[in-house]
Amino acid sequence: MTIQVGDKLPEATFRTMAADGPAARTTAEIFAGKTIVLFAVPGAFTPTCHKNHLPGFVAHAEAIKAKGVDGIFVTSTNDVFVLDAWQKATGAVDKVGILADGSAEFAKAVGLDADMGAFGMGIRTKRYSMIVKDGVVTALNIEDGPGKADLSGAEALIKQL
């Protein structure tokens, strides 16, 4: 079942990159007591994710945070090493944090996983964005296809803050 506005995020563990290498961070550690913008991409370095979705959040990071947002994070079913390289390659460091969901644990728990095996990509996450306040989803924007980033893009999300 897909998560809905008003639902609390399920417990899951992401991987992030720390100074000494990969580190585990739970949904409770990331979202408790904070207002967080979370968006998901099917894959780092893939065309829509790389050229459209992430760049919008990087460009609008200051405007988003000025509306009372404590942090902006991107999640993907890529591993933490790929997401770390992508964050550095795109200028997202200090603007958009990374939450690697390499086994699609979180994507499955929120009902937003997608089987992209036909494209040789395996289980991925659908493209979406959400606003989460103290662990509760207050806005959710799910794209109807992986090649679009209209509903879930930064410009659309800013209007919801």
Q: What positions carry a catalytic annotation?
A: 49
Three-class SS of 8-71: ECCCCEEEEEECCEEEEEEHHHHHCCCEEEEEECCCCCCHHHHHHHHHHHHHCHHHHHCCCCCE
Long-range contacts of 13-17 (CB under 8 A, 24+ apart): 13/105, 14/75, 14/99, 14/100, 14/101, 14/106, 15/79, 15/80, 15/99, 15/100, 15/102, 16/80, 16/97, 16/98, 16/99, 16/100, 17/80, 17/81, 17/83, 17/84, 17/87, 17/98
